[in-house]
Structure 1
């Protein structure tokens, strides 16, 4: 089964197929499909800042902004909020050898981060994986307020990051195209790894300043995506019963210790 699933992943991740899908989704030819896309994935179009008829292509609808107040930001002083709408695939401890175990597969934090000077500080810390489905709001926001101390990108083509991709793919969290940001908040570091997924491999950053407020937009995904959050050891306490549940951007997902 693993062989056939990986074969399917390799086939559908073909460079030229990805380009064709990108061309179609960003062209006016895709506009007639917006309504059926919204219906198929049960998207709440009442939250959208624009009406369906105002979007010029499927891609524009996918990266839609929401009406003001649609995602209230938890304002408790030490709270960490979800940076995206999504499904909490996993929460756990980063092992001493800097690996995480997800869906029975080991992912290397060292490989995902790709920066030897950075990854060591997260030994024994907490990781959280949030998967965004096609129905979700795909703008990314900061989980904390603080200073953006570094940003970098890694990886090439991408495999699926849903539960099947995590279980049978070629270590997608560690190998997929990804853009990583590190924010320092009250002396603690929080890493936000924005991981691209199947077909359209684009992660666009919209925040250009070196400081950021909790809940402020920092970028968006163009189709298929996952966010991995990393917290230093002893710095973060996640909310109970988050794993295997849906969250909304701005919802409290835990607290940073002072």
Structure 2
């Protein structure tokens, strides 16, 4: 059972997990773990399933998915009968008014919908994956010179589950570098998997870029793929000015994760998010929602 904190109701809620029984079996049973290592974590498995989700045959999955997970289609630009396949639905765009953005330049916003962990005063060699399992920023991006500049700063981990809006956006105006691709496996990023696979984020397929933010300095942006995520699509124009809230890209089918690193003495994260992280709970947030404030020096 996965619990997260709803900051609107100030209560804990239980996440309804797509493929819950399959995930538990896959990451806990001897047979499931064998299949995971031999086939499921491989690119071929995600590529084949991604191909199915791109085909017209997958359109029949849409209505049942909407019903099972109570997706509010009133927020979407398209109606549920207007999608060509399941991935078309999965990367659905929302109406602009569905995700209002805090335009105050001093306010840090969430880059997407999901469940957020926030860690301050981080040790670059011991970033928390889950309690008892850590990884390093150097391993994650493969650049120690850049990684060392973020020691003592912030690490924000936003987990997108399959039911979430799967486009991610810029947290501020600025200029973003080209996205650097790092090949890897396709483990699930669900907490069930995070508790079982050491250094999972450093093993999975991922992309990272350096975002020169106008108000929050140089921010490292990382997108991590997962099982059945055959594509991390970057839709922004590298090395050109973007505005706060502009789309950076999207994930195709599957749960995925975005990770941000911010230098020390730049941003103060909201107390409720830090508190829940310290207690081991993610906080549910949506794209454009305020999650922190610039530190005035």
TM bucket (normalised to shorter chain) is over 0.9
Query: Residue 224 of structure 2 corresponds to which residue in structure 1?
Result: 195
Query: Residue 233 of structure 1 corresponds to which residue in structure 2?
Result: 264
Distance (whole Å) between structure 2 residues aligned to residue 254 and residue 51 of structure 1: 34
- 8 A contact 1:202–1:221 mirrored in 2: yes
The 10-residue stretch of structure 1 (43-52 or 14-23) with the greater mean CA deviation from structure 2: 14-23
Corresponding position: 1:101 with 2:132: no
- Deviation, 1:88, is 1.1
Distance (whole Å) between structure 2 residues aligned to residue 17 and residue 177 of structure 1: 14
Given the superposition, is the C-alpha separation of residues 233 and 6 from structure 1 closer, same or farther in structure 2, using an over 3 Å criterion?
A: farther
Query: Residue 248 of structure 2 corresponds to which residue in structure 1?
Result: 218
Query: Residue 76 of structure 1 corresponds to which residue in structure 2?
Result: 104
Q: Which runs of 5+ in 2 are unaligned?
A: 1-26
The 10-residue stretch of structure 1 (50-59 or 97-106) with the greater mean CA deviation from structure 2: 97-106
The 10-residue stretch of structure 1 (154-163 or 129-138) with the greater mean CA deviation from structure 2: 154-163
- Deviation, 1:6, is 4.4
Tell me the TM-score normalised to structure 2 length. 0.81
Deviations 1:83-139 (A, max 9, x none): 0100014534321x5320231211111111112231111111110111001110000
Distance (whole Å) between structure 1 residues aligned to residue 196 and residue 113 of structure 2: 24
Q: Partner of 1:121: helix, strand, or coil?
A: helix
Query: Residue 185 of structure 2 corresponds to which residue in structure 1?
Result: 157
- 8 A contact 2:216–2:266 mirrored in 1: no
Corresponding position: 1:247 with 2:285: yes
Distance (whole Å) between structure 1 residues aligned to residue 111 and residue 173 of structure 2: 12
Q: What is the aligned residue count?
A: 257
Query: Residue 177 of structure 1 corresponds to which residue in structure 2?
Result: 205
- Deviation, 1:211, is 1.7
Query: Residue 129 of structure 1 corresponds to which residue in structure 2?
Result: 157
- Deviation, 1:2, is 6.3
Corresponding position: 1:256 with 2:294: yes
Distance (whole Å) between structure 2 residues aligned to residue 102 and residue 62 of structure 1: 26
Within a 5 Å distance, the mapping from 1:30-41 to structure 2 comes to: 30-41=58-69
Distance (whole Å) between structure 2 residues aligned to residue 195 and residue 165 of structure 1: 14
Given the superposition, is the C-alpha separation of residues 37 and 2 from structure 1 closer, same or farther in structure 2, using an over 3 Å criterion?
A: closer
- Deviation, 1:214, is 1.1
Distance (whole Å) between structure 2 residues aligned to residue 116 and residue 16 of structure 1: 31
Deviations 1:198-249 (A, max 9, x none): 1223110111142221111010011220011111011121112124210000
- 8 A contact 1:157–1:201 mirrored in 2: no
Within a 5 Å distance, the mapping from 1:40-59 to structure 2 comes to: 40-59=68-87
- Deviation, 1:81, is 0.6
The RMSD of aligned alpha carbons is 2.0
Q: Partner of 2:97: helix, strand, or coil?
A: coil
Query: Residue 120 of structure 1 corresponds to which residue in structure 2?
Result: 148
Q: Partner of 1:98: helix, strand, or coil?
A: coil
Q: Partner of 2:272: helix, strand, or coil?
A: coil
Tell me the TM-score normalised to structure 1 length. 0.92
